[in-house]
Structure 1
Amino acid sequence: MPTYNMHFEITTYSESDNGMHYAEDYSFWKRLIEHFLSGMDTFEIHCWEDEQAVVDEIIQQMKNVICRIEGKVLIVKGEMTDKAKNFLLSNPLNAAGQLKWFSVFLYCNGNILFSSEHYGTEFTGSGLNVEQKEFFISTLPEDISVLEW
C-alpha cells in the first residue's frame, strides 16, 4: 500500500493586526484535528514568547506537560490523553476567531505524523494512506497548494 508525505498550504488569508497569516475561516479545524488524533500518543504545541497567556492556559488545563523555551518559542509537550484531545478540539480559537497556537505536532512512537503550522495555514502529513490524503484535500479550504513527495 503506497504512503504519501504531503504539505498543504492555505493561500488566502484574513487580515491581522500583528502581520501574521491566519485562515479566513477555521471551520475545518475540529474535523481535521479530530481525524488525526486517533492513534497519536504525544502532542506538542509551539507559541511565541509574547503569547504567554496561551501557554499558561495549556498548563492550567493539562497539568502533566513539559515546557521549555527555544529562542523565542515556548514549547509545551505532553501525553495524548483524553483531556489533551478535548483541549485541542474544544477551545482552539482566540477572541478574533484565529487559531491560538503557532504550531501543533501530533506524534506516534516518536514520529511526527501530523503538523499544523503558522497558525493553521500550513499542514504536513507523513506516511498518509490514500484515505488520509483524500481526507486532507476534502477537509481543507479549496484555496490550498499541495506538495507531495
Structure 2
Amino acid sequence: MGKNLVFQIPAYTKVNSTFPKPSNDNYDYWVPLINYYLPKSDTIEIHCWNEEIEIIREIKCLNINMLEMQDEKITIFKEKKICTLSDYLFNKKLDQNDNFKWFTVNLIYDGVTVFHSGHWGTEFFVPNAEERDILLIKNVIPPETNLHKY
C-alpha cells in the first residue's frame, strides 16, 4: 500500500484578494500532474464558487452532458472522462487574468478519488501514492513546496 500525499504549492495573494497564486506565478506543474493522473481516472469532477459565473458558463458551453449540482455556495460538475473534458483540463486552465480557473478538480476512478487539486491549483492530495508517483510529483512541483507523506 502506498503513502497518502498532501502538498501545497507556495502561494501568495494580491492586495484585496483571497485568490492564491503560485509564488513564481507559474502553473507549469499542472499539465504534468494531470497528464500523469488523468489516465488513472474514469471520472472528472470540477467545483466552482457560484459567483464564478464566467467559468460556470464556460463549462456549460462544452456541450457535454455533465451532472451539475449546486447549493447556495458552490457548483459541482461531474462527468465520465471524455476527450473534450480532458482537453479542457490540459489547455484551458487559466482565465483572462492568468488565474487558475477551478477551485477544485477531482480525478476519480471507480468512485474513489485518485487525485485532488484544491484552492485553485495550489493544494493537492494523492492517496496511495507509490514511489514512482512521489518521484514524478517531486520532479514537477516547485522545490520549496511543502510535501507530506503519511
Normalization by structure 1: what TM-score? 0.92
Match of 1:116 in 2: 117
Mapped to 2, the partners of 1:62 and 1:136 lie a distance apart of 32
Match of 1:8 in 2: 7
Moved more, 109-118 or 12-21: 12-21
Deviation at 1:11, TM superposition (A): 2.1
Query: Residue 133 and residue 55 in structure 1: after superposition, are their counterparts in 2 closer, same or farther (change >3 A)?
Result: same
Residue 135 of structure 1 aligns to which amino acid in structure 2?
A: L
Deviation at 1:14, TM superposition (A): 5.3
Residue 38 of structure 1 aligns to which amino acid in structure 2?
A: P
Match of 1:106 in 2: 107
Aligned-pair RMSD on alpha carbons?
A: 1.4
Match of 2:86 in 1: 85
Match of 1:22 in 2: 21
Match of 1:136 in 2: 137
Indicate if the aligned counterparts of 1:47 and 1:73 stay in contact, CA closer than 8 A: yes
Normalization by structure 2: what TM-score? 0.92
Indicate if the aligned counterparts of 2:40 and 2:114 stay in contact, CA closer than 8 A: no
Moved more, 20-29 or 74-83: 20-29
Structure 2 unaligned runs (5+)? none
Query: Residue 86 and residue 58 in structure 1: after superposition, are their counterparts in 2 closer, same or farther (change >3 A)?
Result: same
SS in 2 for 1:26: coil
SS in 2 for 1:61: coil
Hey, which bits of structure 1, 4+ residues long, moved more than 3 A? Answer: none
SS in 1 for 2:101: coil
Indicate if the aligned counterparts of 1:67 and 1:76 stay in contact, CA closer than 8 A: yes
Q: In the comparison of the two structures, how many residue pairs are matched?
A: 148
Query: Residue 62 and residue 123 in structure 1: after superposition, are their counterparts in 2 closer, same or farther (change >3 A)?
Result: farther
